[in-house]
Structure 1
Amino acid sequence: MVTGGSIANVMYNMLTTSSKFGGKILTDYDIALLSEPCMLLGVSIGVITNRVFPEWLVTILFAVFLAWSTFKTCRSGLLHWKSESESVNRYVTLKDESYDGTSEEPLLKKEEINNQLKFPRMKLGVLVMIWFSFFVLYLLRGNRYGQGIITMEPCGVGYWIISSLQIPVAIVSTAWILCRKECCQNKVPNHQEKDIEDLTSSGPSNKLIFPFMALLAGILGGLFGIGGGMLISPLLLHVGIPPEVTAATCSFMVFFSSTMSAFQYLLLGMKHTDSALIFAIICFVGSLLGLLVVQRAIQKFGRASLIVFSVGIVMALSAVLMTSFGALDVWSDYTSGKYMGFKLPC
């Protein structure tokens, strides 16, 4: 389902540009490139923990996670709303005092984002190569019954050795991306791209902030069966990324992680795939309609914080509904005497 929705978001964001950011695309491919290897590693860990953890523990963790994400998102939305209101008032004051009838300043202050006007084929190619590297490891490992490209004992030594190879792949890929990024910055310095560059190149902690939060988002996404963007969104907003760029970048990253997560669940014997495909199509159509409605509202009212509030509302509803239904399922398992402890991964 998450894959269906993310496909719609990626298609829309690749075909549209923003006049607010000088006609540039909204997706920040540098953040996506730096975060994706660790996110894919986290997805694999999350899928395994989903099979190991009892349902009651997953429900509790899910409730805590959604409550925290809702709080952080709504708080960021209020801060952006306040900032937008100040910009609007400042614009109106300046217009009344010095309007000469020739030109107008933009309603919202333009923020410089590290996006390129041309389509970044090289960065997208690297992302696909990283995704394919993990994909090959999953094919070699096979499913929980030992069925794959090569025959091996289910959950045996070879199974876990191949699974553990994801760790060096993620570390090496992230380290290589960071080294390439530093080399490019030293050769071609650009003061106009300082906002995002400062977050990824001004110290060890800032260099690693995106990989670490992507790893956590991937783990939670695989564990709960949701898009990792629900966690990355509040974090990107917290470090100062504008809402439009946050939404586009998260949907792009979630496309890679959700496809990998869905593939792993299929190998692990996921049932009801026909229903999942139907829901994926519904999510695809719903995402397109939601994008059109939200973008029209932003153009009309000039407030990108509407994106943040929309995400916050969805998170709040999810926290109530998912926790309630999860609690009912746990109670049903308890009353029926079903085993409620930790399980083996295979």
Structure 2
Amino acid sequence: MEQFGVKRRVLRSILLDFLNFALAFMLVSAERSLKHGESARESETNNNYFLKAINFLWQSDQSGYNHVWPEMEFNWQIVVGSIIGFFGAAFGGVGGVGGGGIFVPMLSLIIGFDAKSSTAISKCMIMGGAISAVYFNLKLRHPTLDMPIIDYDLALLIQPMLMLGISIGVAFNVIFADWMVTVLLIILFIVTSTKAFFKGVETWKKETLVKKEAARCLASNDSGDEDVEYKPLPSGPNGDPPQDNTDKEVPVWENICWKELGLLCFVWVAFLVLQIAKNHTATCSAAYWVLNLLQIPVSVGVSLYEAVSLYKGRRVIASKGDQGTNWRVLQLVTYCAFGGLAGIVGGLLGLGGGFIMGPLFLELGIPPQVSSATATFAMTFSSSMSVVEYYLLKRFPVPYALYFTAVAAIAALIGQYIVRRLIIVFGRASLIIFILAFTIFVSAISLGGVGIANMIVKIEHKEYMGFENLCKYEG
């Protein structure tokens, strides 16, 4: 009997343990199920956010772009736009930046074009201003050295990569949404305008020291009552006293380096042929991408030829004097990369690329007059090519483009003449740097303001604000 009681207690203990284990298992399973359900819901929520972000940025059948081309007629918009365009071209031509940062807001806010058509017409105006400025500069000499004011070797290093960048930038102009362009533009312009301003202050101080030294020399010669004559900052070899070529003019053909000009024209013609051939192929077809990729060996090949020649000492950046003879590989690669970047952003925003090249040339130690002239010379090729590309994309009305191109051409010529006389009168080549910084800063404010305003309107109307589909683009 006692033995049976023991067995019953053991059996009850085993049964209770089994029940406790079963209860614990059920609780753990329930907890795991609960956690799994929460995790699944959380994962589903995250996936929803991710999908919403993807849908915001990319919908292959959606487009946020529509042509807005106002009728061309004489009214207050044309008058005000012409005045703003005139001053923008005058300042932009002098600073070597083209003035696109002023043209685009004017065309959008005053004339009434959509943002991307404004970008295309802006390129036409930059081309007109650049051609006028180059014609003016082709008669001038380097302010302190016996060479043209345009540094052809520097242009040959930068311009082919600038052209390649322009082609990429024009494609990005089709693909990118306006708000993406606005963010990039504000950051880039504020940085470059700040650097240019401080470079201007530095050059102003150097010029002040030169003027004081000239005044002391006059005083020692008992000529203290005479005006202090303008003397350019030294930039010649071996620190030799600089020549003063500020007011010197020569026939155009004496200022042309034919071999370098021939290579630059070769790049332009090669790109033109490729662009026209590409226009006769189906977008995103195999032939389309082959023709696009053929631009790379053309541009890289010419820039590489110039870079190797500079590295081995067969060629020099003559406008830097002796300092233009010693180049490191990293320096040359960096400058070519900046040329490509200037082209990409220029093609994307409808600018000339000078807002990057100008500050870059100044950092290289290039005199302000040479920096402006060389940047404008390079922009002539890049802007004219982008005009061809935008024309093939049917991005602008021809009558408006011809009119504003003429306005910019006249303004650039007048601006070059006036500023050249001011430099001679005041003895301050740093005026060009301050004009450069001012133009870039105004461009940042105006373009940034227009971009933010357009972005707010699109948000309010819940319009599509993602990437465009390049393969479905129709002009």
**TM-score scaled by structure 2?**
0.65
Return the offset for 1:181.
4.8
Q: Does the aligned pair in 1 maintain the 2:181–2:349 contact within 8 Å?
A: yes
Residue correspondence of structure 1 range 85-164 to structure 2 within 5 A? 85-97=208-220, 107-112=231-236, 118-142=255-279, 148=280, 152-164=281-293
Q: Is 1:72 the equivalent of 2:209?
A: no
Consecutive unaligned residues of structure 2, counting only runs of 5 or more, are 1-124, 238-244, 246-252
Return the offset for 1:323.
1.3
Instruction: State the SS of the aligned residue for 2:256.
Output: coil
Aligned mates of 1:160, 1:86 — CA distance in 2: 56
Read off the aligned partner of 2:331 and give its amino acid letter: N
Q: 1:177 aligns with which of 306, 311, 314?
A: 306
Aligned mates of 1:266, 1:22 — CA distance in 2: 41
Aligned CA distance change for structure 1 residues 181 and 240 (closer, same or farther; 3 Å): closer
Aligned mates of 1:138, 1:51 — CA distance in 2: 16
Aligned CA distance change for structure 1 residues 85 and 178 (closer, same or farther; 3 Å): same
Q: How many residues align?
A: 330
Q: 1:258 aligns with which of 383, 406, 409?
A: 383
Instruction: State the SS of the aligned residue for 1:303.
Output: coil
Return the offset for 1:42.
0.5
2:126 match: 2
Return the offset for 1:279.
1.2
Q: Does the aligned pair in 2 maintain the 1:27–1:248 contact within 8 Å?
A: yes
1:17 match: 141
2:116 match: none
Aligned mates of 1:68, 1:211 — CA distance in 2: 20
2:404 match: 279
Q: Does the aligned pair in 1 maintain the 2:423–2:431 contact within 8 Å?
A: yes
The 10-residue stretch of structure 1 (53-62 or 315-324) with the greater mean CA deviation from structure 2: 315-324
Return the offset for 1:91.
1.7
Instruction: State the SS of the aligned residue for 2:138.
Output: helix
Read off the aligned partner of 2:384 and give its amino acid letter: T
Deviations 1:15-68 (CA, angstroms, capped at 9, x unpaired): 2335x3256421101100111111110001111111111111111111111111
Consecutive unaligned residues of structure 1, counting only runs of 5 or more, are 143-147
Read off the aligned partner of 1:11 and give its amino acid letter: Y
1:313 match: 438
Q: 2:327 aligns with which of 199, 202, 218?
A: 202
Instruction: State the SS of the aligned residue for 2:169.
Output: helix
1:231 match: 356
Aligned mates of 1:94, 1:244 — CA distance in 2: 26
Instruction: State the SS of the aligned residue for 1:15.
Output: coil
Return the offset for 1:243.
0.4
Q: Does the aligned pair in 2 maintain the 1:37–1:170 contact within 8 Å?
A: yes
Read off the aligned partner of 1:3 and give its amino acid letter: M
Deviations 1:117-148 (CA, angstroms, capped at 9, x unpaired): 65211111111011111111111111xxxxx2
Q: Does the aligned pair in 1 maintain the 2:390–2:396 contact within 8 Å?
A: no
Aligned mates of 1:228, 1:200 — CA distance in 2: 26
Q: Does the aligned pair in 1 maintain the 2:186–2:444 contact within 8 Å?
A: yes
Return the offset for 1:99.
6.7
Residue correspondence of structure 1 range 48-63 to structure 2 within 5 A? 48-63=171-186
Task: Tell which structure's C-alpha radius of gyration is larger.
Answer: 2
Identity of counterpart residues, as a percentage?
31
Return the offset for 1:176.
2.1
Deviations 1:277-327 (CA, angstroms, capped at 9, x unpaired): 211111111111111111110000111000111111112222111111221
**TM-score scaled by structure 1?**
0.88
Aligned mates of 1:268, 1:277 — CA distance in 2: 17
Q: Is 1:332 the equivalent of 2:462?
A: no
Q: Does the aligned pair in 2 maintain the 1:199–1:207 contact within 8 Å?
A: no
Q: Does the aligned pair in 2 maintain the 1:199–1:206 contact within 8 Å?
A: no
Aligned mates of 1:35, 1:180 — CA distance in 2: 14
Aligned mates of 1:240, 1:267 — CA distance in 2: 39
Q: Is 1:322 the equivalent of 2:451?
A: no
Return the offset for 1:197.
6.5
